[in-house]
Structure 1
Amino acid sequence: MKKIIGCLLISILAILCLTSCQQEEKPKAEKASDGELPPLEKTEKVVIAEDGSASGAGFYIAKDKGYFEKYNIEVEFATFGNSDEMLPAVAAGEVDVAGGVSSASFFNSIAQGIDVRFIADKGHNNKGNSYFTFVVREDLKDEIKDYEDVKGKRIAVSTKNAVDDYIYHKMLEHAGVSPNETEFVLMSDFANMMAAMSNKQIDLALQIEPLITQGENKGIHTRFGDATDYAPKAQIAMVLGSPKFLTDRRDVAVRFMAAYLEGIRDYHDVFMKGTGDEEEIISIMANHTALKDKEQWVQAGVTGLNPNGTIFEEDVIQQYEFYKEQGAIQEELDFDKIIDMSLVEEAIEVIGTYQE
């Protein structure tokens, strides 16, 4: 009798364990018999919070080249004044997809119950041609040549306790210079940094494209090294997804991600590999972003976007730890829950891995 009861208990436990595992598994989009993703039976709208930033390239290209339409997806771009308005809309499912930039306030919002997922890459620096890196005043370029030369200099950074601040500290650490040995100048407007350079109010700045290229062309500043020298895997922006989008609309979400990655691959072909239709992709980027000068798209360092979609997960956690050390975050976060690459993985099963 004991043996029978024991066997029954083991069987019950096995069933409970199997049921639990099945519940934890995310639903998968149904594929056609040939393994491809067929178009959705009816047109589905996906709302993207995007403000015309260059890092939205995957969205713009996928839209204009018909990759979303191929899956019967209609995209709508929504603009928000700031992330404080955007994040609750994503968490509530009013917005399906958005872009998020790493900051302490961003992580604090998540810690306080704003439920969003990091689902794909939306911005990192390309080695040797960073789109977000330091510049030095033109008249100081012979004086400030090496990283240790920043000691005692006035350095403009656009935000405190955000990815800019993180990169700034990474540069100082690489230089062997203490933060106490430089003057941190908080300057939220990148255009104001150029004016401050012209007026010799600052010596260096953590600047962004296309202002880096514009400042070089005007003789205001010059690139100072490259951000990948000291922060080679800095995750600057992520694609955010609504939990409802990832679960309740899984068939739509996987197709959306496949189309997004196809758009990024066209972008990567042109800007990283020098292949593809450069004129077409630059025209799309000029149409959707504030940078209308097509010649500058050829000159400028462009946003890095991973054609296989994944983010630098370890760096995201390092940034979070940095903000905690700065006293800007008190809460603990479960990154196993927040970072969800399952859409990317499922999409790549269909479209294949991009080969460099």
Structure 2
Amino acid sequence: MKKRIILFLSIGFILLLVACNKSTNTETNSEDPLAPLPEKAKVVIAEDGSASGAGFYIAKDKGYFEKYNIEVEFATFGNSDEMLPAVASGEVDVAGGISSASFFNSIAQGIDVRFIADKGHNNVGSSYFTFVVREDLQDTIVNYEDIKGKKIAVSTENAVDHYIYNEMLKHAGISTDEVEFVLMSDFGNMMAAMGNKQIDLALQIEPLITQGENQSIHQRFLDATDYAPEAQIAMVLGSPKFLTERRDVALRFMAAYLQGVRDYHDVFIKGIDDDGEVISIMANHTALKDTELWKEVGVTGLNPNGHIFEEDVEKQYQFYKDNGAIVGELDFDQIIDMSLVEEAIEIIGTYEE
């Protein structure tokens, strides 16, 4: 009888230990602000294969989203007129936005989206979006004052391209009347126009900058960070529903995104060797398939701590407004929302250069 009682007591003690252990584990998980979600959550990202989507691609392929039980789905749209309403309605959770008057006008007219993280700026000395000069003019157009009287191609009017163009003219001390502004929407056509000597300079983008150099069509003309060091070229947009109703998912998404950006920064800015993994991911997701060329191009700048150049965004808006291209007013305190980035960084820590 005593043996039975001792046996029952022993079994009871073991069961109590197991129960306590489970309770402790559950409590620990509940205290982890980035514990995997209890159920798989889908996040729809509007992304068209642009290089500035690096954080998304790397986080997906390296399993950072999966770590938090997040499944991402990439969706493509023909233009921002289709994409922005989808973000505002919550049909799309996250997207990329390029600064332009039409973009700001859409928001001013009631399209409710938030700017939640950096998705593109120039790196000092190796801008991915900068001016090039025709190969045969590289010895005569050397300094900024040399652009006077020249034909300069820009892809979009009243957009970030136009803003950077205007900043260069101000830096050069040259008025808009002293140069010829050539609107040329296709970057590929700019290279052809260079070859035919129809234009002298162009605001070009990678990988076409490097490809044009290799083909002796054009050469880099100094660097855009000389006069627009904090030009915010693209932003990560978030749906208000995603940021509020699905905040637990959004926080984990941002933590994974920033980890992807940090891996990208390690490779392309710090030069850390990862045996080609990040370059392979970029080649897989973008139009630039040549892994060797990825080692030459000026890559998109992405802030490993997520913040955007807020003052520059407002400066661009003011430029469009001064040009008469803006309809309505914007409250940037409402539109720019860095709270998700800040919340994620508080958990994962600040990236140190």
- TM-score normalized by the length of structure 2: 0.91
Number of aligned residue pairs: give it.
Answer: 327
Q: Distance in 2 between matches of 1:32 and 1:339?
A: 32
Q: Distance in 1 between matches of 2:95 and 2:141?
A: 39
Match of residue 78 from structure 2: 81
Is 1:285 equivalent to 2:282 in the alignment? yes
How big is each residue's C-alpha offset from its partner over 1:2-38, in whole Å with a ceiling of 9 and x where there is no partner? xxxxxxxxxxxxxxxxxxxxxxxxxxxx994664510
Question: Do 2:243 and 2:250's aligned partners in 1 also have CA atoms closer than 8 Å?
Answer: yes
Match of residue 18 from structure 2: none
Compare CA radii of gyration and give the structure with the larger one.
Answer: 2
How big is each residue's C-alpha offset from its partner over 1:44-84, in whole Å with a ceiling of 9 and x where there is no partner? 00000000000000000000000000000000000000000
Match of residue 346 from structure 2: 349
Q: Out of 64, 73, 95, which is 1:98 matched to?
A: 95
How big is each residue's C-alpha offset from its partner over 1:103-124, in whole Å with a ceiling of 9 and x where there is no partner? 0000000000000000000000
Q: Distance in 2 between matches of 1:265 and 1:101?
A: 22
Q: Out of 97, 110, 117, which is 1:120 matched to?
A: 117
Q: Which deviates more from structure 2 when the two are superposed, residues 252-261 or residues 343-352?
A: 343-352
Q: Distance in 2 between matches of 1:282 and 1:58?
A: 12
Match of residue 320 from structure 2: 323
Q: Out of 162, 167, 185, which is 1:165 matched to?
A: 162
- Correspondence list, 1:257-296, <5 A: 257-296=254-293
Match of residue 242 from structure 1: 239
Shift of 1:330: 3.1
Which aligned runs of 4 or more in structure 1 are off by greater than 3 angstroms?
A: 30-36
Is 1:335 equivalent to 2:332 in the alignment? yes
Q: Which deviates more from structure 2 when the two are superposed, residues 251-260 or residues 323-332?
A: 323-332
RMSD (Å), alpha carbons: 1.1
Change (3 A) 1:310 1:278: farther
Q: Distance in 1 between matches of 2:94 and 2:149?
A: 43
Shift of 1:349: 1.2
Q: Distance in 2 between matches of 1:214 and 1:295?
A: 12
Percent of residue pairs bearing the same amino acid type: 81
Question: Do 1:266 and 1:276's aligned partners in 2 also have CA atoms closer than 8 Å?
Answer: no
Q: Distance in 2 between matches of 1:278 and 1:103?
A: 38
- TM-score normalized by the length of structure 1: 0.91
How big is each residue's C-alpha offset from its partner over 1:303-340, in whole Å with a ceiling of 9 and x where there is no partner? 00000000000000000000000000131100000000
How big is each residue's C-alpha offset from its partner over 1:201-243, in whole Å with a ceiling of 9 and x where there is no partner? 0000000000000000000000001000000000000000000
Question: Do 1:270 and 1:278's aligned partners in 2 also have CA atoms closer than 8 Å?
Answer: no
Q: Distance in 2 between matches of 1:233 and 1:313?
A: 9
Question: Aligned partner of 2:49: which letter?
Answer: G
Q: Distance in 2 between matches of 1:309 and 1:93?
A: 22
Q: Distance in 2 between matches of 1:138 and 1:303?
A: 24
Question: Do 2:108 and 2:327's aligned partners in 1 also have CA atoms closer than 8 Å?
Answer: no
Q: Distance in 2 between matches of 1:172 and 1:208?
A: 19
Change (3 A) 1:34 1:127: same
Match of residue 45 from structure 1: 42
Match of residue 54 from structure 2: 57
How big is each residue's C-alpha offset from its partner over 1:269-313, in whole Å with a ceiling of 9 and x where there is no partner? 000001141500000000000000011100000000000000000
